[in-house]
Chains A and B, each alone.
Chain A
């Protein structure tokens, strides 16, 4: 009886861990030896799943790695993923002394679309939508890391809602075009982010037309893009214009130089839906600005229209960038409103679902492994089931619940 049971378990576990590395196999061997001791134990081992993979390169992840954690190196966290990771997640990662992200199915699906896409065609638009806390931003991070490793240039807006609101934020009329408004601090911030995320990729890029800032200052043809960035950072009055120049040059040069550009915009609905709360940006006449009147947004909207090639745009739809009265649903048309939908159309909507049982268990096991869950009941099968039930499979609420266990 026991021998046949052992054989059964062995076959099951080996089929599950076929793709995992050696260390995991060792672990499962230990499991098997424990499993064989009593029947009751085998029941409880049913829920014991591996939660890590040693394949830390997103390019090599397959469907077999869904729900497993992989490690992100420190330099990428400070480089390409800078400011994309939420502050609370960052604190948790620092506590664990490692930067880990879960491989999820929509991320693999999205990366598959981008990999197979013919870049000679105009930019395709992908829209990640889902419930709050389902992991839209994390999937965007995953995609950014994946294509950063393939040497794509990354244009990233962490959360576009920041660009349309702010108490006492400086707003000045654009010197380039009247009726449009610059937000110098946002522009400089974005230039800094762009520089850090694309270290070492901008060396050979030079401007192809002349840009006149003032009567005395201008950028000649052939000015390196890095110089433009530095100019924007020192003269932040022109930071929005500099950002516009960079975007324009990349649109123009991507097909010529064979560059690959990934545009990643968080909460893209802020580009199209008017923010009408008190902290909305206003011009000198106290009139609320339309999103399209802000230079940065105007420039980024051009990146989202299929007028250029050799690029891909990935956006998230975050209903929390819209006003409080319209946050009942998370579907694309509801979040983007008709204007935004028509601007992005045709796009590929990708649903980011909440955790499956497997992913939720993997998350809990990861927390247990790092002693984040210290309550003894939380480590039992019953406790795990309870956590999953109480969090309703939502990653964010699972995180919140586990922080007090």
Chain B
């Protein structure tokens, strides 16, 4: 009661207004119902002055006080990553391959191109609604945790690793030929996929038993299928309709090639110097020139009286070519010149050649 008494002036005001409005009710039936406030204003005008009442045509003047009630769209939920606990299990959040979802990925990431510093305030677009991030594939379903789960699920199907195949070297020794095939699994009326017929086999050329000629012929026969740097041969076939047929075909090709390269055809004897795959000093004119030069020097040495500056390493009899070429000095020269041609010129091979020639011909300088 004390509170009511305290606010009694306000209560009185409200009471008075209420009474005024009650007295105005008697006029209300004269006009169609409009807003409560307008009535009130008109009545006030009526009371304040003795002017005529104004007939108000409904809808002629827009009333300012008319309230538009618009339906407010409900606010979207906060993105999911906001409420993610730090120690959650990611594999449950992103169980399988899916398009990038900005609201689910809990880290900031930007992707895209901006033309100039004016565009997007010079910043690469963030993940929200970013189409560029959705375009590319992602690996969010293949994290280490996922792989661990996969492995754990697969483990019950695995058998123990065979003994004696612990290292790659041992595997290669016991299984020198590696065959690569692919299976394609999908839901469709037919389970056949024609890509599955392709078979690739790989092996190292050094695993085959070949001599120099056979190896060279094998390399020439397989052409680009031999990789010189890794010493690996790769055969691929898709010519037969089934995988097993292709595999059989490749095995046949390998066998046929192996035995073919051991054969020595009659026309192979027609191989000329320009057909050689490498530089062979023994076959080239250089050997002939070198031996004849050494013989000339020997005969000149024998005929001269003085003992100085002779080629002392030459044996008394130089008529035999083989004996001459097996001398260490000549052999060094042979190795050097073969390296220049086969390995290419560089400062090492050129210097090796220079030193070999110097010892071969006994050329010395005080300044080196």
Given the known A-B contacts A333-B341, A345-B286, are A118 and B308 also in contact in the complex, defined by CB atoms under 8 Å?
yes
Encode contact with B along A85-123: 1 for CB under 8 Å, 0 otherwise: 000000000000000000001001111110111101110
Contact B345 A124 (CB under 8 A): no
How many chain B residues touch the partner (CB < 8 A)?
36
A109 CA to B355 CA, complexed, in Å: 13
Contact B358 A348 (CB under 8 A): yes
A332 CA to B337 CA, complexed, in Å: 12
Contact A117 B363 (CB under 8 A): yes
Given the known A-B contacts A120-B300, A349-B354, are A333 and B345 also in contact in the complex, defined by CB atoms under 8 Å?
yes
Asked whether any CB of chain A lies closer than 8 Å to the CB of B340, the reply is yes
Min CB distance A125 to B, Å, is 9
Min CB distance A142 to B, Å, is 13
Encode contact with B along A335-356: 1 for CB under 8 Å, 0 otherwise: 0001000100111111100000
Min CB distance A43 to B, Å, is 33
Asked whether any CB of chain B lies closer than 8 Å to the CB of A20, the reply is no
Contact B367 A105 (CB under 8 A): yes
Contact A349 B284 (CB under 8 A): no
Please choose the segment from B21-29, B119-127, B219-227, B290-298 that sits at the chain A interface, where 4 or more of its residues have CB less than 8 A away. B290-298
Min CB distance A64 to B, Å, is 11
A223 CA to B165 CA, complexed, in Å: 89
Contact B363 A124 (CB under 8 A): yes
Given the known A-B contacts A332-B345, A333-B340, A346-B357, are A120 and B304 also in contact in the complex, defined by CB atoms under 8 Å?
yes
- What secondary structure prevails in chain A residues at the interface with B? mixed
Min CB distance A30 to B, Å, is 32
Contact B365 A342 (CB under 8 A): no
Contact B345 A345 (CB under 8 A): no
Asked whether any CB of chain A lies closer than 8 Å to the CB of B309, the reply is yes
A338 CA to B345 CA, complexed, in Å: 12
A126 CA to B206 CA, complexed, in Å: 42
Asked whether any CB of chain B lies closer than 8 Å to the CB of A63, the reply is yes
User: Which A-chain residue is minimally distant from B303 (CB atoms)?
Assistant: A120
Contact A124 B367 (CB under 8 A): no
Contact A348 B293 (CB under 8 A): no
Contact A122 B297 (CB under 8 A): yes
Asked whether any CB of chain B lies closer than 8 Å to the CB of A323, the reply is no
Asked whether any CB of chain A lies closer than 8 Å to the CB of B4, the reply is no
Q: Which residues of B contact A346 (CB under 8 A)?
A: 286, 290, 293, 333, 337, 357, 360-361
| Contacts of B270-310 to chain A: CB distance below 8 A | 284-286, 289-290, 293, 296-297, 300-301, 304, 308-310
User: Which B-chain residue is minimally distant from A335 (CB atoms)?
Assistant: B345
Min CB distance B43 to A, Å, is 102
Min CB distance A329 to B, Å, is 7
Min CB distance B325 to A, Å, is 14
| Contacts of B299-327 to chain A: CB distance below 8 A | 300-301, 304, 308-311
Q: Which residues of B contact A122 (CB under 8 A)?
A: 293, 296-297, 300
Q: Which residues of A contact B47 (CB under 8 A)?
A: none
Given the known A-B contacts A333-B345, A345-B289, are A112 and B354 also in contact in the complex, defined by CB atoms under 8 Å?
no
A281 CA to B186 CA, complexed, in Å: 73
Asked whether any CB of chain A lies closer than 8 Å to the CB of B99, the reply is no
Contact A331 B363 (CB under 8 A): no
A62 CA to B345 CA, complexed, in Å: 31
User: Which A-chain residue is minimally distant from B368 (CB atoms)?
Assistant: A109
A124 CA to B304 CA, complexed, in Å: 18
Q: Which residues of B contact A345 (CB under 8 A)?
A: 286, 289, 337
Contact B365 A116 (CB under 8 A): yes
Asked whether any CB of chain B lies closer than 8 Å to the CB of A224, the reply is no
| 6 cross-chain pairs, A with B, having the tightest CB-CB distances, nearest first | A112-B365, A118-B309, A331-B345, A108-B367, A346-B357, A113-B365
Identify 30 residue pairs between A and B in the complex whose beta-carbon atoms are under 8 Å apart, listed by A's number. A63-B367, A108-B367, A109-B367, A111-B365, A112-B365, A112-B367, A113-B364, A116-B363, A118-B362, A120-B301, A120-B304, A121-B300, A121-B309, A121-B311, A121-B361, A121-B362, A122-B296, A306-B293, A306-B296, A331-B345, A331-B350, A333-B345, A334-B345, A346-B290, A346-B293, A347-B357, A348-B358, A348-B363, A349-B350, A350-B354
**A332-B350, A345-B286, A346-B361 provided; 7 other pairs, C-beta below 8 A?**
A110-B365, A112-B365, A118-B309, A121-B309, A348-B354, A348-B363, A350-B354
